[in-house]
Amino acid sequence: ARRAHFGFGMKIVFFNRSPVDDEETRAMSAVQMQTLEGVLAASDFVSLHCPGGAENRHLIDARSLRLMKDSAFLINTARGDVVDQDALIGALQRREIAGAGLDVFAEEPAVPEALKQLENVVLLPHLGSATEETRVAMGMKVVENLTAFFEGRPVPDRVA
């Protein structure tokens, strides 16, 4: 959101199940919409950032895609099961949305041939963390957390 707003001057609208009111969203004048449907209808670019699994399976389905502008792009870097892939392929083939950018797929690592044939989709492998710098930083996080734990200090990246 920061890059989109400060780098490209985009107006940021978003949906979150819980209210968000923090310094970062205020700095971008970001608007929290009441519904996902509202975000889909208002947006030129819809970028998904949520966990996969049963709760979000097919969060974006045929009905959701029909709510989007025909000039809009869907970007999924979240999880493959968040988008109904067959519905997306159909929407792209019929030009119901302008395009999509995907680095996750329903049956990874397989990419459906129908997606590969489309000219209005960009496909990439889900390799965002596969750089030497990122992997070293991840390893150092492990060391920091273990050191804190065994020294009786609060663990910096505690999950639960």
Q: Indicate which residues carry an active-site annotation.
A: 79, 108, 126
Phi-psi region for residue 41, left (φ > 0), alpha (ψ -120 to 50) or beta?
Answer: alpha
Strands of the chain, DSSP E: 13-14, 31-32, 45-48, 73-76, 99-102, 121-123
Task: Return d(Cα 54, Cα 9) in angstroms, integer.
Answer: 35
- Chain-centroid distance of CA 43 in Å reads 14
The amino acid that residue 61 corresponds to is D
